[in-house]
Amino acid sequence: MSSLKASVAGERELSPPVIVAEEVTKRFRTPGHVHFPSPRSFRFRFEKPTVKVALEGVSLAIPRGEIFGFLGPNGAGKTTLIKTIVGLLAPTEGRCLIRDADGRAFDSHTREAKLKLGYLPEQPYYHEFLTAEEFLLFHGRLLGLDDKEILAKVPPLLKRVGLTQARHQKLETFSKGMLQRVGLAQALIHDPDILVLDEPMSGLDPIGRREVREIITAIGETGKTIFFSTHIIHDVEVICTTVGYIREGVLMGAGPIDKLLGKTVRSMEIRFSLADGRDPREVPALKQARKTMDGWVIEVEADANRLEYDVQEVLRRVLDGKGTVRSVVPRRSTLEDLLFTGSAPL
Amino acid sequence: MSKFAKKARTRRQVSAIAAVTFQELIREKILWSSFLFGLLCVALAYLVSRLSFADNARIALDFGMAAISLVGGLISVVMGAVLVAKEVHNRTHYLVLTKPIWRWQFVLGRVAGLLGVLAVNAALMSAILVVVFLMSGGRLETSFFKCLALQVAEFGVLSAVACVFSVFTTSTLAAVFASGIWVAGHAMADIKILADKTEPYWMRPLLKTVSEIFPDLTRFDVKAEVSHSLPITWGYFAGTAAYGLAYMVFALAAACLIFSRKEL
Ligand SMILES: Nc1ncnc2c1ncn2[C@@H]1O[C@H](COP(=O)(O)OP(=O)(O)O)[C@@H](O)[C@H]1O
Ligand SMILES: [Mg+2]
What is the C-alpha to C-alpha distance for residues B226 and A270, in angstroms, rounded to an integer?
A: 100
Q: Which residues contact A59 (CB under 8 A, 6 or more apart)?
A: A21, A22, A23, A24, A94, A251
Q: Which residues contact A225 (CB under 8 A, 6 or more apart)?
A: A18, A19, A62, A63, A64, A65, A66, A67, A68, A193, A194, A195
Quickly state the pLDDT bin for A4 (edges 50, 70, 90).
Answer: very low
Q: How far apart are the first and last CA of chain A?
A: 24
| Ligand 1, pocket-test mutation among A52, A88, A120, A229, most atoms within 8 A of CB | A52
Judging contacts by C-beta atoms under 8 Å, the chain A residues touching residue B263 are 28, 89-90
Q: Is the CB of A31 within 6 Å of ligand 1?
A: no
Ligand 1 closest atom vs CA A81: 17
A309 interfaces chain B, CB cutoff of 8 Å: no
Pick from A115, A123, A124: CB nearest B95? A124
Q: Is the CB of A83 within 6 Å of ligand 1?
A: no
Beta bridge partners of A292: A295
Residue A255 or B75, more confident: B75
Q: Is the CB of A75 within 6 Å of ligand 1?
A: yes
Neighbours of B242 (CB within 10 A): 11
The residue whose CA has the least distance to atom 7 of ligand 1 is A28
Quickly state the pLDDT bin for A1 (edges 50, 70, 90).
Answer: very low
What is the C-alpha to C-alpha distance for residues A145 and A190, in angstroms, rounded to an integer?
A: 8
Judging contacts by C-beta atoms under 8 Å, the chain B residues touching residue A127 are 20, 23-24, 92
* This prediction's pTM: 0.83
What is the C-alpha to C-alpha distance for residues A213 and A235, in angstroms, rounded to an integer?
A: 8
Measured over all CA atoms, what is the biggest interatomic distance in chain A, rounded to whole angstroms?
Answer: 84
Q: Is B16 in contact with A130 (Cβ distance < 8 A)?
A: no
What is the C-alpha to C-alpha distance for residues A215 and B263, in angstroms, rounded to an integer?
A: 32
Domain boundaries, chain B: 3-261
Burial classification of residue B26, based on how many CB atoms lie within 10 Å of its CB (0-12 exposed, 13-18 middle, 19 or more buried): middle
Evaluate if residue A42 carries a pLDDT over 80: no
Neighbours of A323 (CB within 10 A): 21
Residue A272 near residue A326, CB atoms below 8 Å: yes
What is the C-alpha to C-alpha distance for residues A62 and B113, in angstroms, rounded to an integer?
A: 40
pLDDT attached to residue B176: 93
Beta bridge partners of A96: A21
For the ranges A32-36, A231-235, A243-247, the one whose mean pLDDT is highest? A243-247
> Nearest-CA neighbor of B26 among B94, B121, B104?
B121
Pick from A83, A88, A129: CB nearest B27? A129
What is the C-alpha to C-alpha distance for residues B51 and B63, in angstroms, rounded to an integer?
A: 14
Residue A98 near residue A26, CB atoms below 8 Å: no
pLDDT attached to residue A292: 85
Q: What is the pLDDT of residues A136-155, one digit of tens each?
A: 999 999 999 999 999 999 99
Distance in Å, alpha carbon of A223 to nearest chain B alpha carbon: 22
pLDDT attached to residue B250: 94
Q: Which residue of A has its CA nearest to B21?
A: A127
**3-state DSSP assignment of residue A192:** coil
Q: Which ligand does the CA of A123 lie closest to? A: 2
For the ranges A41-55, A231-245, A262-276, B235-249, the one whose mean pLDDT is highest? B235-249
Q: Is A121 in contact with B95 (Cβ distance < 8 A)?
A: yes
What is the C-alpha to C-alpha distance for residues A28 and A298, in angstroms, rounded to an integer?
A: 52
Q: How far apart are the first and last CA of chain B?
A: 30
Helices (H) and strands (E) in chain A, counts: 11, 16
Which residues 207-266 of A are in CB contact (within 8 Å) with B?
A: none
Judging contacts by C-beta atoms under 8 Å, the chain A residues touching residue B23 are 127, 129-130
> Nearest-CA neighbor of B59 among B47, B69, B70?
B47
* Chosen from A123, A142, A150 to mutate, greatest number of chain B CBs within 10 A: A142
Size of interface A-B (CB pairs under 8 A): 67
The residue whose CA has the least distance to atom 18 of ligand 1 is A79
Would you give the DSSP letter of residue A131? B
Residue A65 near residue A240, CB atoms below 8 Å: no
Helix axes A176-188, A206-221, angle to 10 degrees: 10
Pick from A89, A121, A130: CB nearest B91? A121
Q: Which ligand does the CA of A71 lie closest to? A: 1
pLDDT attached to residue B170: 87
What average pLDDT does the structure give for chain A? 85
Q: Report the amino acid identity of residue B255.
A: A
Q: Please name the CATH architecture into which domain A4-261 falls.
A: 3-Layer(aba) Sandwich (3.40)
Q: Rg for chain A (alpha carbons), in Å?
A: 26
Residue A273 or A339, more confident: A273
Residue B108 near residue B167, CB atoms below 8 Å: no
> Nearest-CA neighbor of B25 among B108, B121, B166, B156?
B121
Strands A265-273 and A324-332: antiparallel
A91 interfaces chain B, CB cutoff of 8 Å: no
Distance in Å, alpha carbon of A94 to nearest chain B alpha carbon: 17
Over range A212-231, report the average pLDDT.
Answer: 92
Beta bridge partners of A97: A20, A107
Q: Is B95 in contact with A130 (Cβ distance < 8 A)?
A: no
DSSP string of A292-315, one letter each residue: ETTEEEEEEE--TTTHHHHHHHHH
What is the C-alpha to C-alpha distance for residues B204 and B212, in angstroms, rounded to an integer?
A: 12
pLDDT attached to residue A317: 85
**pLDDT tens for the 264 residues of chain B, in order:** 788 888 998 999 999 999 999 999 999 888 888 888 888 887 887 787 777 666 777 877 888 888 889 999 999 999 999 999 888 888 888 999 999 999 999 999 999 999 999 999 989 888 888 888 888 777 888 888 899 999 999 999 999 999 999 998 888 899 999 999 999 999 888 888 888 887 777 878 888 888 888 999 999 998 888 888 888 899 999 999 999 999 999 999 999 999 998 887
Q: Is the CB of A52 within 6 Å of ligand 1?
A: yes
Neighbours of A310 (CB within 10 A): 19
Pick from B12, B20, B98: CB nearest A88? B98
Residue A288 near residue A270, CB atoms below 8 Å: no
Beta bridge partners of A295: A292
Over range A18-27, report the average pLDDT.
Answer: 94
DSSP string of A323-344, one letter each residue: -EEEEEEEEEPPHHHHHHHT--
What is the C-alpha to C-alpha distance for residues A127 and A145, in angstroms, rounded to an integer?
A: 20
Q: Report the amino acid identity of residue A25.
A: T
What is the C-alpha to C-alpha distance for residues A50 and A30, in angstroms, rounded to an integer?
A: 5
pLDDT attached to residue A287: 80
Over range A31-40, report the average pLDDT.
Answer: 74
For the four alpha carbons of B199, B200, B206 and B209, in that order, the dihedral sign comes to: positive
Q: Which residues contact B255 (CB under 8 A, 6 or more apart)?
A: B84, B107, B111, B160, B163, B164, B166, B167
Neighbours of B169 (CB within 10 A): 16
Pick from A86, A114, A127: CB nearest B24? A127
Q: Is the CB of A7 within 6 Å of ligand 1?
A: no
Distance in Å, alpha carbon of A101 to nearest chain B alpha carbon: 19
Would you give the DSSP letter of residue B81? H
Fold for A265-340, please state it. Answer: Alpha-Beta Plaits (3.30.70)
What is the C-alpha to C-alpha distance for residues A128 and A85, in angstroms, rounded to an integer?
A: 26
What is the C-alpha to C-alpha distance for residues B57 and B141, in angstroms, rounded to an integer?
A: 13
Domain boundaries, chain A: 4-261, 265-340
Q: Is B90 in contact with A125 (Cβ distance < 8 A)?
A: yes
Residue A327 near residue A296, CB atoms below 8 Å: no
pLDDT attached to residue B105: 95
pLDDT attached to residue B141: 83
pLDDT attached to residue A342: 53
> Nearest-CA neighbor of B121 among B226, B32, B185?
B32
Q: What is the ipTM of this complex?
A: 0.88
Q: What is the pLDDT of residues A90-104, one digit of tens each?
A: 999 999 999 988 889
